[in-house]
Amino acid sequence: MAVISGDGVFSHVFLGAADMDASVKFYDATLGALGVKNLGPFGNGWMLYGRDKPAFIIARPGSGDAPSSNGVTVGFAAASTDEVDAFHASGLANGGTDEGAPGARSHLPGAYAAYLRDPAGNKVCSYTFTDGN
């Protein structure tokens, strides 16, 4: 499953987490840096995040299997390079590991991004675009 609500292609993203407390701490900090709110728990312990409605969900996998995200990256939009920097710093301070420091990305014109692994091993990033990198 993947991102964005409204007119976007996707309705939401759902990532598995083995340690919900560690994942909630991580996402409260990293997504909070982007203005995304923890909208509270739902149903069977799912944690919902969004700006005005749920678009990102973390939960223990319903199958009981260990969470796995090999080959998957979830990207969160940032309004500025400062937000990307705050996303990365907040993630590192709250249980995440570095997968790519904040900076310009040569594969897309004007791209500025940072990559992290969350406490469950999911790969997440934040991107913004500038006039010239």
Q: Is the pLDDT of residue 83 over 60?
A: yes
Q: What's the confidence (pLDDT) of residue 69?
A: 65
45 contacts 14 by C-beta, under 8 angstroms: no
Domains identified in the chain and CATH numbers: 13-61+72-129 (3.10.180.10)
**63 against 98, higher pLDDT:** 98
Pairing of strands 73-77, 123-129: parallel
pTM above 0.75, yes or no: yes
Q: What's the confidence (pLDDT) of residue 8?
A: 58
Distance between CA atoms of residues 112 and 100, nearest Å? 11
Mind listing the pLDDT tens digit for each residue in 2-31? Answer: 333 345 566 788 898 989 999 999 999 999
